Structure 1
Amino acid sequence: MNNGRNRRARAVTGLAAAAMLSVSMVSGATARDNAPDTSESPAQEAPLHMLVSLGEQQIQVYRGTELIETSPISSGKRGHSTPTGVFSILEKKRKHFSNLYDDAPMPFMQRLTWSGVALHVGKLPGYPASHGCIRLPRPFAKSLYSMTERGMHVVVTNDVAKPVAVRHTVLPQPYLPETTVASLSSETIAADPALRGAIQETPLQASVSAVLPENPHFDRPLRMIITPQAAPNKIMVLQRLLNQLGYDAGPVDGVAGRKTRAAISLYQEGAELPITGMITNTVEARLYAEAGYEKPQNATLRVRRKFRDIYSAPVTIKDLDREIGTHVFTAQDFKQGDKAVDWIAVSAEGERGGAPMDVLDRVEMPEKVALELSKMLTPGTSLTITDRSFKRNTGLGTDFVVITR
């Protein structure tokens, strides 16, 4: 990470150099061209990410919030439309041929889904004309290929989206252990004649810097996602709690029958609550507290590293009946030992769900979970918050893929 500026300079220089690279140099490396590219370069200052607008037929390349490249594209035609959503580069090949369409050449292919959507060189007639892929002009595709790496985000939207800088307590910050301070109290000094002569008024203090734990995965960005989960059946949960506390609520079947209502009435009488036999918020809160449980969270946080699950935890989203949309938050570059990191946000569905800050305001993260995330945090880490499903297109060899259309 100490060479971040040099790597950034080399990456910018590489963009121009790749554009002038001759075709003969590329074609002369046949074996290398046919082999999948699995390299993973270290995190760079201000992570690179791409935003594709189908409506404008345009791709924009950003480092953080800085627009560095723009190019026209040709996306999927009617009947083969390019899906919108949040993707990552899954595979890179300099020379590739389509498995679906008569071995059609797809130079400088960067795969977004295993079902056939990719970035690659192709004809640009000025309108959507592909079978779902995102075609790029050759010089741009070649230059872009030299700058990207597997796992890099690509957000595809209908309208133009732009990254904005954000700060919020929900977004993880680097973990820094508390500094311990060793001091000599006035009582200790008074009890020792030698200390009384040497130290009269000001206690001696020595700061002992806490050792920062080494993160062996510091150059590997995390991919995190928060999605709502199906709410548990409230009646079944309360039946289970009543039975655990000795109130016979009958079978845990989710039906508030005679035995369940009688058990609630008996509980209300003992708790000095109005005896109604009905489930109320007060009854629910009291039962959870007496059973020693917290009220269950209604969303799940999942974390992947290098396309594999490594962590999950329950969190809460307030006002779950309101739309959330799909929002991607990305941590910028930082070094081990830094106290803070800046984040950027991209809304993948326009105004659906509100602004990114509004969505962050609705997330409640347990303190323990926030601490765990801060310990794992690495440059370029992203957090997607969405009410869309990710399961259909997410599996081994992918990040969290969210299709918004």
Structure 2
Amino acid sequence: MRFALRMGFAVFVMASPSALAAGAKAPLQIVVSREQQSLVVYNGDAVVATSKVSTGKSGHATPTGIFSIIEKRRRHESNIYSNAPMPFMQRLTWSGIALHGSNHVPGYPASHGCVRLPTKFAASLFKMTGYGMHVVISDRQIAPVEVASETLFQPNESRRHGPALSDVPLRPAIGELNQSAVEVAMTERRPLPVTSEDEKAPIRILITRRGTQEMVRDLQTLLNMLGYAAGPPDGFNGPSTAAAIEAFQRAEGLPVEGRITPELIDTVYRRAGRSMPSNGVLRVRRQFEPLFESEVVIADPEAALGTHLLQFQDLDTKTGRGKWFGMSLDNDLPKATKKRLGITAERESAGFGSLERTLSRITVPKDVRERIASLLANGSSLSITDAEAGLETGKGTDFITVTREPRR
């Protein structure tokens, strides 16, 4: 493998297929740079393989963000662009973005949104990847570095025995609405169950701010608990929810408006015997299915968290500890989003130390840390972002975060 810089431009030399196969035994990550028109495969912070690519041309830009491989097909044809061949296709979103082989990879943006690879390299890459393997797409070239922080989870934190979670309310996770319920720790700190030792598929953890949809969803859950038919707790304020709010306001002597107000929320929580929730939420998925979610506390909420991805690997079974490798992505939030989330501080550059500073602001309940520790396996990951892109995260995906690159 050779990796050099010439006159400020990266020159990539593809590894041999045998080298690719050897690297496949470790949890790997793929990083695509739109500026460099390059793809790099990493094992931790070590380069395993590289290639030139062609991303989306003007009007069909390849989205940036945190993705993972959700489907693989050796032979595939586009159902949008005249059955164009897409050999060794590795899908990143159900909306149509994928890695695939092509005989036309000129080294500049030329696709309709996918990431084109030289066919020979695409075939070799196909052999080394697996479902759930992370693919990060960014404008600038970024690379994982080892990160040490007490906030990061380690298997030796796990409590091996404990009573099962019995009466925490269930509610659907975003992206799985009206399909299946997942466990949710709302405000009460109860012991969480521990999985058996053979359940060691990598988990996906997302930490983000508590948003409007979570607030509405919890309000619906509590109104239903109090006997007001708010409909399925789906996070959308529809007619049933409005009618339930009016009925509750009438019964409590509040102004009957049918609108969600701070006074309404406070009264509903008090009537349900609940304390107000924290300002952050942690969600966990495994093998594309939601497992549970919990509240977390985000300090200095007026400052943006940024967008980051960390992957866990190199677990030492004797010490119960492994390494975390992290990357920070640029993400230019719209003004309306920042206002909705209460972000008033200037955006911090995704540079040196930003990830560690973000981690230091997050507090995860001890019982949740213990449960996550019991689930950690090589290849598990943690995503952190201010506003998740929930439209891409859904059935048959990991957590997908689509970013907005700053204007240059």
Question: Smaller-chain TM-score range?
Answer: 0.5 to 0.7
Equivalent residue, structure 1, for 2:61: 81
Q: What are the Cα deviations for residues 32-70 of structure 1, in whole angstroms up to 9, with x where unaligned?
A: xxxxxxxxxxx944x100000001111111001101211
Q: What are the Cα deviations for residues 307-332 of structure 1, in whole angstroms up to 9, with x where unaligned?
A: 00011110011112211221001101
1:372 Cα deviation (Å)? 1.1
Question: Could you state the TM-score of these two structures normalised by the residue count of structure 2?
Answer: 0.65
Q: What are the Cα deviations for residues 232-254 of structure 1, in whole angstroms up to 9, with x where unaligned?
A: 69xx9xxxxxxxxxxxx963888
Equivalent residue, structure 2, for 1:229: 210
Equivalent residue, structure 2, for 1:341: 322
1:90-129 to 2 correspondence within 5 Å? 90-122=70-102, 123-129=104-110
1:287-306 to 2 correspondence within 5 Å? 296-306=277-287
Identity %: 42
1:385-404 to 2 correspondence within 5 Å? 385-404=384-403
Distance (Å, rounded) in 2 between the aligned partners of 1:59 and 1:222 = 25
Structure 1 letter corresponding to 2:303 = R
1:133-144 to 2 correspondence within 5 Å? 133-144=114-125
SS of residue matched to 1:101: coil
The root-mean-square deviation of aligned C-alpha atoms, in Å, is: 3.4
Change (3 A) 1:105 1:250: same
Structure 1 letter corresponding to 2:55 = S
Structure 2 letter corresponding to 1:378 = A
Structure 2 letter corresponding to 1:161 = I
Equivalent residue, structure 2, for 1:163: 144
1:238-253 to 2 correspondence within 5 Å? 251=254
Equivalent residue, structure 1, for 2:309: 328
SS of residue matched to 1:374: helix
Structure 2 letter corresponding to 1:399 = D
Equivalent residue, structure 2, for 1:197: none
Question: Could you state the TM-score of these two structures normalised by the residue count of structure 1?
Answer: 0.66
Equivalent residue, structure 1, for 2:355: 356
1:170 Cα deviation (Å)? 1.4
Equivalenced residues, count: 297
Partners of 1:18 and 1:142 within 8 A in 2:
no
Instruction: Name the structure where strand makes up a greater proportion of residues.
Output: 2
Structure 1 letter corresponding to 2:126 = Y
Equivalent residue, structure 2, for 1:379: 378
1:217 Cα deviation (Å)? 1.8
Change (3 A) 1:336 1:296: same
Instruction: Name the structure where helix makes up a greater proportion of residues.
Output: 1
Partners of 1:14 and 1:147 within 8 A in 2:
no
Structure 2 letter corresponding to 1:80 = H
Partners of 2:389 and 2:401 within 8 A in 1:
yes
Partners of 2:158 and 2:373 within 8 A in 1:
no
Equivalent residue, structure 2, for 1:274: none
Structure 2 letter corresponding to 1:144 = L
User: Which is higher, the Rg of structure 1 or of structure 2?
Assistant: 1
Change (3 A) 1:324 1:352: farther
Partners of 2:159 and 2:370 within 8 A in 1:
no
1:314-325 to 2 correspondence within 5 Å? 314-325=295-306
Is it true that 1:57 corresponds to 2:37 in the alignment? yes
SS of residue matched to 2:155: coil
Distance (Å, rounded) in 1 between the aligned partners of 2:293 and 2:202 = 16
Partners of 2:313 and 2:377 within 8 A in 1:
no
1:358 Cα deviation (Å)? 0.8
Partners of 1:75 and 1:129 within 8 A in 2:
yes
1:203-282 to 2 correspondence within 5 Å? 214-218=196-200, 220-230=201-211, 251=254
Distance (Å, rounded) in 2 between the aligned partners of 1:60 and 1:161 = 10
SS of residue matched to 1:342: strand
Distance (Å, rounded) in 1 between the aligned partners of 2:41 and 2:90 = 15
